[in-house]
């Protein structure tokens, strides 16, 4: 066992969200725990003993699903496992992103390493080798109902391990990678194709790994985006001549919601020492209170954080799970169960889609205030350079509004739907894969809406000259100016929006703020 600084050990302990991100997104090497591998071999011996039993055992000497009562002779069982994988690799639609496929393969590997599935040691080692070789099976968008596991997506991965189907080859820096036949890619990497034995077809496809992988990636992305939402809100409060008094710690303690306290602390930190905020704190200021999109930012962003914390708890529990059916118990029994049902994950994926839509909606409302002369506290209409000739950021707000509208549609829960399958044997399903797919689209939209707010607030702050922004907000504005010019005549706006989106989604906006504040919540 050779561990390096960036490698991820599989088997000794449950994986973390950070482990999933490291392997899926950053190609961290996978190392298998030797003790866990020995347990894998021991569990395989149990399956092999049951395979010789004259009594039928589900998935070992029987068919699957609605065919669970069909006995399969010993000489046909290898064909049974291969046939299961081939028939279930029935996905359709666009290719799923590389990081998602790597995440679901890692998570299936993690379950195999629990020694509760009865997989062969060589199968486990093959999955690790495929990940480390940068070989990514092609998985299609549609095919999972989120019950009996993410069947089709996982089957496409198992098919590649058998040396069949198509894959992409290359590291994350190579884009999607080069299209290749799985047999050729495995041969080039020196990886022999797996010959599946009893029960392994089920062990490789019966898990919530796809939806859990996407949840893990979403948790990482949203942690950064919610901090960025606090930064954007602080910039808007500042440039709209709002007050930071409402974010005072004693006021926040009157409602002891944990996430709210964290967001309010971020806003106080971002606005500390701002000359713009200080410029209107005297008795001459006649404003009584700010609009909700400014004043209530900690309440909304905080509730989002609390929802994220709940989703993280569910993810941690699932990362510590051994999801298979049937499963080998600790005392050596092989039992059918329903742990493959994706409801726990599907629910929090849907909760997060609601959160994303609402945080983005509040952000768009702050952007809109900047562009309305009746509400922007003395700035030009649409922050235009020459009123009547220039449109300023008018249509940038349209873009944000269009995205927010889409996010509201994506917030409709997938998990309330169910459609029966497998001749009514699988008569209730979670739709967790669909919930995860739409959450990924929603998170992309949130990053774009926040980028438009940051870009708009930066222009408004520049228009407050000679007043200066605070140190933290000023650092963010300076970062924005590396990608988008300041106020001036109308220009081609789309490239600037995309450039600021990249700053938000890469974490550079958050890093710019933290370069002056230290770590934000």
Residues taking part in catalysis = 58
Strand, helix or coil at 387? strand
Nearest one of 80, 314, 27 to 198, comparing CA atoms: 80
User: How far apart are the C-alpha atoms of 362 and 486, rounded to whole Å?
Assistant: 24
User: How far apart are the C-alpha atoms of 310 and 416, rounded to whole Å?
Assistant: 19
Terminal CA-to-CA distance of the chain, rounded, Å?
A: 36
Instruction: Say if CB 162 and CB 223 are below 8 A apart.
Output: no
DSSP string, 172-211: GGGTT-EEEEHHHHHHHHT-PPP---TTHHHHHH-S-HHH
Q: What are phi and psi of 117, to 5 degrees?
A: -110, -20
User: How far apart are the C-alpha atoms of 205 and 222, rounded to whole Å?
Assistant: 28
DSSP string, 130-172: HHHTTEEE--EEE---SSSSSHHHHHHHHHHHTT-SEEEES-G
Q: What are phi and psi of 187, to 5 degrees?
A: -65, -45
User: How far apart are the C-alpha atoms of 422 and 64, rounded to whole Å?
Assistant: 10
Distances (CA, A) of 210 to 16, 108, 340: 15, 9, 12
User: How far apart are the C-alpha atoms of 200 and 26, rounded to whole Å?
Assistant: 29
Nearest one of 181, 176, 164 to 98, comparing CA atoms: 176
Report, in this order, helix, strand and coil percent for the chain, each rounded to 5: 55, 5, 35
Residues 6+ apart with CB under 8 A from 331: none
**Three-state SS string across 412-480, please?**
CCCCCCCCCECCCCECCCCCHHHHHHHHHHHHHHHHHHHHHHHHHHHHHHHHCCCCCCCHHHHHHHHHH
Distances (CA, A) of 439 to 277, 348, 352, 500: 36, 10, 7, 21
Dig out the tokens for 245 from the structure: 């008094």
């Amino acid at each position: 066992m050779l561990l390096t600084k960036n490698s991820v050990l599989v088997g000794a302990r449950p994986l973390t969200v950070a482990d999933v991100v490291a392997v899926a997104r950053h190609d961290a090497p996978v190392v298998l725990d030797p003790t866990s591998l020995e347990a894998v071999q021991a569990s395989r011996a149990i399956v092999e003993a049951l395979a010789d039993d004259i009594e039928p055992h589900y998935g070992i000497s029987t068919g699957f699903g609605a065919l669970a009562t069909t006995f399969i002779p010993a000489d046909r069982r290898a064909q049974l496992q291969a046939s299961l994988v081939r028939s279930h690799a029935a996905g359709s639609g666009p290719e799923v992103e590389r990081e998602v496929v790597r995440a679901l393969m890692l998570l299936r590997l993690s379950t195999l390493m629990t020694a509760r599935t009865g997989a062969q040691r060589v199968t486990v080692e093959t999955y690790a080798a495929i990940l480390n070789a940068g070989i990514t099976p092609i998985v299609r968008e549609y095919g999972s109902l989120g019950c009996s596991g993410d069947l089709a997506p996982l089957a496409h991965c198992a098919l590649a391990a058998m040396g069949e189907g198509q894959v992409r080859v290359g590291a994350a820096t190579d884009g999607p990678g080069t299209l290749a036949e799985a047999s050729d890619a495995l041969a080039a990497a020196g990886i022999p194709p797996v010959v599946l034995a009893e029960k392994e077809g089920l062990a490789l496809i019966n898990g919530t790994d796809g939806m859990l992988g996407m949840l893990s990636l979403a948790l990482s992305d949203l942690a950064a985006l919610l901090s960025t939402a606090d930064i954007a809100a602080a910039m808007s409060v500042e440039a709209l001549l709002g007050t930071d008094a409402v974010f005072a710690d004693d006021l926040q303690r009157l409602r002891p919601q944990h996430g709210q306290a964290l967001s309010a602390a971020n806003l106080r930190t971002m606005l500390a020492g701002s000359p713009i905020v200080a410029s209107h704190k005297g008795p001459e200021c006649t404003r009584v209170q700010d609009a909700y999109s400014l004043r209530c930012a900690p309440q909304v962003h905080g509730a989002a954080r609390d929802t994220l914390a709940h989703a993280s708890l569910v993810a941690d529990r699932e990362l510590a799970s051994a999801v298979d059916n049937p499963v080998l118990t600790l005392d050596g029994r092989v039992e059918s169960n329903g742990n493959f049902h994706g409801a726990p994950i599907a629910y929090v994926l849907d909760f997060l889609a609601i959160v994303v839509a609402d945080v983005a909606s509040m952000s768009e409302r702050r952007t809109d205030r900047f562009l309305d002369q009746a509400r922007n506290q003395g700035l030009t209409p649409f922050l235009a350079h020459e009123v009547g000739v220039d449109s300023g950021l008018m249509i940038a707000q349209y873009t944000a509004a269009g995205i927010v509208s889409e996010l509201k549609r994506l917030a409709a829960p997938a998990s309330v739907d169910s459609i029966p399958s497998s001749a009514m044997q699988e008569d209730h399903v979670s739709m967790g894969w669909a919930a995860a797919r739409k959450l990924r689209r929603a998170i992309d939209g949130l990053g774009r809406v926040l980028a438009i707010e940051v870009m708009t607030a930066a222009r408004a702050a520049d228009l407050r000259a000679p007043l200066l922004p605070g140190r933290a907000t000023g650092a963010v504005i300076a970062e924005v100016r590396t990608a988008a010019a300041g106020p001036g005549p109308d220009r081609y706006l789309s490239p600037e929006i995309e450039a600021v989106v990249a700053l938000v989604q890469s974490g550079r906006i958050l890093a710019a703020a933290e370069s002056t504040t230290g770590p934000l919540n």
